[in-house]
Amino acid sequence: MPSVLPLGDPAPADGILPPQVLDGVDSRKFGLYVHIPFCAVRCGYCDFNTYTATELGGGASQDAYASTAISEVEFAVRAMEASGLPQRPLSTVFFGGGTPTLLPAEDLARILTAAVGHWGLEPGAEVTTEANPDSVTPESLQLLADAGFTRISFGMQSAVPHVLKVLDRTHTPSRVPLVVQWARDAGLAVSLDLIYGTPGESMADWQTSLETALSYGPDHISAYALIVEEGTKLAAQIRRGEVPGIDDDDHAAKYELADQLISAAGLDWYEVSNWSRTPEQACKHNLAYWRGDDWWGIGPGAHSHMGGVRWWNVKHPTAYANRLGSGVSPAAGRETLDAGTREVERIMLEARLGTGLQVDALDKVGRHAVAGLIADGLVEPGAAFQGRLVLTLKGRLLADAVVRRILPD
């Protein structure tokens, strides 16, 4: 079951943005997110905005999806121009889902080509797609690389069959080294997504998953703690006692193990849940989210941000297509952040980064909290003395608590 959208203000039909988005636009990068809302099956833990063919009642919308998405690209070009925003080349593009690779690679390529045709690409731009291990072939990967994709992120999740089973994953562990090799052969940088803390996963299971993932030599790893989202099948199973619940202490221990093994393999953390082999191989698109850059989100339920204005599209693919079909913005709601809220978001997001947060940009409450955070072992003393608040391992595990302590009252 997809999660609910935030409540916000109504968004205008023409997609025109308020003048504040022009302030400082030259210092912000511009990215594109493309949401592909389809999956072969829905995993029991997942509340992303995605739909199986059965849920949609037929494959028709999947076939037409690329065209619909391209019509939003065109809408975005017009709306940004009408809002007075300068034309900026894309510095990152990210296809996420759902399962982008459930669409024919040609469709993904078509969308990318349309976007690049309108906006252009910065030299060295990062172009990523998410993929499920069982939805790619050597040919499809080659096609993506040829179309301009530079990077692929595989949803590996675990290397242990019984864990994959609880997660409802359809792929077998042996598929992962194959697809990693094919991606490499096509010239794509490779990232692997892992999930820890699945009910029934032992510490040894997690270690196996980590070691297996690392043995494939990925350029990047994301390790996410399993979150039991309301309304998912997993939540119901736990409530009914069919699978054991989630234990925070287990999560903490598994995060520590992840950090230890991944670091030992030569990757460094640059965000609470993300590690990369070199700083250049960090996911630039995700960093743009954390740093408050601009991006346009294409697709149902996709979120966008430009200069303190956030908006989000209607969730259902049919409603989304209908809006665009009649030339109306697919946005369901938006919010224009005031200076205080932008500050809260900045602190909340930047605190999670390896590069940290500028201490003297905090208010009095926040600056006063720093000494206590050092004393509690939550931030790096060395970095703090140089004016940056960088989380320690313990601090990363308590990142939300740290943020609450440094936020203005």
Partner 1 sequence: MSPMARTAPVPAATDPAIIRNFCIIAHIDHGKSTLADRMLQYTGVVKSRDMKAQYLDRMDIERERGITIKSQAVRMPWELDGTSYALNMIDTPGHVDFTYEVSRSLAACEGAVLLVDAAQGIEAQTLANLYLAMENNLSIIPVLNKIDLPAAQPEKYAAELANLIGGDPEDVLRVSGKTGVGVEALLDKIVRDLPAPVGDPNAPARAMIFDSVYDTYRGVVTYVRVVDGMLHPRERIQMMSTRATHELLEIGVSSPEPTPSKGLGVGEVGYLITGVKDVRQSKVGDTVTNLAKPAAESLAGYADAKPMVFSGLYPLDGTDYPVLRDALEKLMLNDAALVYEPETSAALGFGFRVGFLGLLHLEITRERLEREYNLDLISTAPNVEYEVTLEDKRVIHVTNPSEYPTGKISEVREPMVSATILAPNEFVGAIMELCQSRRGIMGGMDYLSEDRVEIRYRLPLAEIVFDFFDILKSKTRGYGSLDWKADGEQVADLVKVDIMLQGEQVDAFSAITHRDKAYAYGVMMTGKLRELIPRQQFEVPIQAAIGSRIIARESIRAIRKDVLAKCYGGDITRKRKLLEKQKEGKKRMKMVGRVEVPQEAFIAALTTDESKDKAKK
- Which residues in this chain contact partner 1 in the complex, by CB under 8 A? 3, 6, 8, 33, 35, 48, 96, 193, 222-225, 227, 248-249, 251-253, 255, 272-273, 286, 289, 295, 297, 302-305, 310, 312, 335, 341, 344-345, 348-349, 376, 378, 396-401, 403-404, 407
- The yes or no reply on residue 37 touching ligand SF4 (CB under 6 A) is no
DSSP annotation of 26 reads: G
For ligand SF4, the closer of residues 224 and 342 by Cβ is 224
By CB under 6 A, tell whether 227 contacts ligand SAM. yes
**Residues 206-235 within binding reach of ligand SF4 (CB under 6 A):** none
Give me the count of residues in the chain: 409
Token pair of 196 as six digits: 């820890």
Structure tokens at 316: 């259902």
- What are the E-state strand segments in 199-358? 220-225, 268-271, 274-276, 294-298, 303-306, 309-313, 331-336, 357-358
- Within 8 A by CB and 6+ apart from 9, the residues are 333, 334, 335, 336
Please state, in angstroms and rounded to a whole number, the distance separating the CA atoms of residues 395 and 376.
9
Point out which span in 46-54, 172-180, 288-296, 321-329 binds ligand SF4 (CB under 6 A): 46-54
Nearer to ligand SF4, 132 or 158 (CB): 132
Say whether residue 153 binds ligand SF4 (CB under 6 A): no
The helix (H) or strand (E) run that includes residue 138 is helix 138-147
Q: Candidates 42-50, 118-126, 251-259, 352-360: pick the segment binding ligand SAM (CB under 6 A).
A: 42-50
156 near ligand SF4, rule: CB under 6 A: no
Q: Which stretch binds ligand SAM (CB under 6 A): 53-61, 74-82, 90-98, 351-359?
A: 90-98
Of 225 and 378, which CB lies nearer to ligand SAM in the complex structure? 225
Q: Between 131 and 145, whose beta carbon lies closer to partner 1? A: 131
For residues 97 and 307, which CB has a smaller minimum distance to ligand SF4 in the complex? 97
How many whole angstroms separate alpha carbon 307 and alpha carbon 292?
Answer: 8
| Residue 394 CB burial class (10 angstroms; 0-12, 13-18, ≥19) | middle
Peptide bond into 395 cis (omega under 30): no
242 vs 248 by CB, closer to partner 1? 248
Region for residue 327 given its phi and psi (left: phi exceeds 0; alpha: psi -120 to 50; beta: otherwise): left
- Is residue 99 within the footprint of ligand SF4 (CB under 6 A)? yes
The Cα–Cα gap between 273 and 130 comes to 16
Which positions from 111 through 170 interact with ligand SAM, judged by CB under 6 A? 130, 132, 155, 157
List interacting residues with ligand SF4 (CB under 6 A). Answer: 39, 42-43, 46, 48, 50, 97-99, 132, 155
